Amino acid sequence: MKCIHHKFVEQAVNHPQKICVMLDEQSLTYGEVLHRVQYFASYLIRECNVQPGHIICQCVERSIEMVIGILSIFTTGAIYCALSSTDPCNRLCSLIEDAKAQLVLIHGQTRHKFIDLINSEDVPVANIEEIIINEEMSSANEVNLLSNVHVTIEKIA
């Protein structure tokens, strides 16, 4: 028996160009989702100090980011705890406290529910959408940087 994130990686390696997730007019291939999951899981470990066994709550609307968040949490070995964005703020904070969560993942549509938590710094909050967008912009900048490097046969030693 395999973990779900191991099965996902297997699918991504075997079928990188196949559609993995679709929502409305947006879709990503297995390869694209795998790239984002690996990046975000690394970010969680590196920047948020997520470790196996940590409880990570996620409160996002139905979205591609939701899928990336779930798979990233599993990839880090942490425990996924879903929160409903329809719950009132005080209920969400109570659930986070009761679960003893080490981190809460949100996105643009749910950010307003966690303003008090973000300001209190009791539990770290990470905006999955912003992190992924920043990574995409950073990758684009790296490509632009490389496109300005002119290598000719004469310059290669």
pLDDT digits (tens, 9 = 90+) for 56-89: 999 999 999 999 999 999 999 999 999 999 999 8
pLDDT of residue 32: 95
User: Per the domain annotation, does 15 fall within a domain?
Assistant: yes
pLDDT of residue 151: 52
Q: Give me 12's structure tokens.
A: 């991504």
User: Per the domain annotation, does 27 fall within a domain?
Assistant: yes
User: Per the domain annotation, does 153 fall within a domain?
Assistant: no
Mean pLDDT of the chain: 87
In this model, does residue 145 exceed pLDDT 70?
no
Q: Do the beta carbons of residue 85 and residue 61 sit within 8 Å? A: yes
pLDDT of residue 98: 95
Residue 36: count of CB within 10 angstroms of its CB: 23
Q: Range of 49's domain?
A: 4-135
pLDDT of residue 153: 60
Q: Do the beta carbons of residue 73 and residue 56 sit within 8 Å? A: yes
Domain count, the chain: 1
User: Per the domain annotation, does 155 fall within a domain?
Assistant: no
In this model, does residue 115 exceed pLDDT 90?
no
Mean pLDDT score, 18-44: 94
In this model, does residue 48 exceed pLDDT 70?
yes
- List b or e across 39-71, with b for residues whose CB sees 16 or more CB atoms inside 10 angstroms: bbbebbbeebebeeebbbbbbbeebbbbbbbbb
Instruction: Give the pLDDT band of residue 139 (cuts 50, 70, 90).
Output: low
User: Per the domain annotation, does 73 fall within a domain?
Assistant: yes
In this model, does residue 30 exceed pLDDT 60?
yes
pLDDT of residue 4: 86
Instruction: Give the pLDDT band of residue 136 (cuts 50, 70, 90).
Output: confident
* Closest of 27, 31, 26, 28 to residue 11, by C-alpha: 31
User: Per the domain annotation, does 72 fall within a domain?
Assistant: yes
Tell me the torsion sign for CA atoms 111, 126, 128, 1: negative
User: Per the domain annotation, does 67 fall within a domain?
Assistant: yes
Domain harbouring 87, CATH code: 3.40.50.980
User: Per the domain annotation, does 89 fall within a domain?
Assistant: yes
* pTM of the model as a whole: 0.84
In this model, does residue 13 exceed pLDDT 90?
yes
In this model, does residue 5 exceed pLDDT 80?
yes
